[in-house]
Amino acid sequence: MSKISILVTGAVGQIGMELAAVAPQFPDFDFVFADSQQLNISSHDDIQRMFASRKFDYCINAAAYTAVDKAQTERKKTALANMIGPYLLACACKENQTRLIQLSTDYVYHNGLNRPLLEDDPVEPKSAYAFSKCAGDEAVLRFHSEGAMVVRTSWVFSSFGHNFVKTMLRLGRERPELRVVFDQIGTPTYARHLARALLTAIASAESGAVNRDLLRGVYHFSNEGVASWYDFALAVFEMSSLPCAVLPIETKDYPTPAQRPPYSVLNKTKWKTAFGQAIPHWREGLRECLEILDRS
């Protein structure tokens, strides 16, 4: 029996590297990990060459422009990575009968709803980054409607790349105290848990445990639990035994070029029902991440 072939774009990003880290746990899958040098997803020619090289059963698009504040001024780069790229991938995947998993963000839901957000809640992007991701999601669902899944996640962290956890660890070693906003509420997501959940969903579909048709439409995946950035920072210092004090401040006291949604907790009922997966709490993911960083 031939292995399931999976193309992973954005291979050197947080989620791409975590997919590579958990890949050995899925011996029935044959992975191709492509970074932006090997596959620029905003290049039609690059995509055509990649899909001409072999048959892919799945493509996980982990490539994105994620510098939320810089996106306000670097709009062309943002649009190429987050809008044009997903559109081109969707067209190529449809043409080659490849299922596409598009990774997206909670930031598209800047809609003022103060309860866990559902997949069919209205999107109201209020930053260049959020608008570009929203447009990319819409392109994927429109141009590959029968074979594309959009997975929106939130507050991603990992032992790889740049993220809030690693920034807090660095600043916590340099400063006696930090001021962190307490009025933005969401859920931290350990990228390794997300990576494992994605591959487990594919494995379930390929084994017949779940219907392949479930691998389409919009889903939410984050870790369980709720936190503010202040709570998240406190947990980082508590678990790493850093003596840095954390002072809560309001968003208005820490202005940024891009607006963040004040509440973006994601409801994961649809994911858990479809794929039968239990989702760990974000503190469990943080503990695992910090242990890995401590060993590195």
Residues labelled as active-site residues: 129
**CB contact at 8 A, 187 and 282:** yes
- How far is 246 from 169, CA to CA, in rounded Å? 12
**CB contact at 8 A, 9 and 34:** yes
99-105 vs 189-190, strand pairing mode: unpaired
Q: Which of 244, 233, 218 lies closest to 188, judged by CA?
A: 233
* Cα 263 off chain centre by: 17
Backbone dihedral region of 217: left (phi > 0), alpha (psi from -120 to 50 degrees) or beta?
A: left
> DSSP string covering 12-55, please?
TSHHHHHHHHHGGG-TTEEEEEE-TTT--TT-HHHHHHHHHHS-
Nearest 5°: phi and psi at 103?
-90, 135
**CB contact at 8 A, 290 and 232:** no
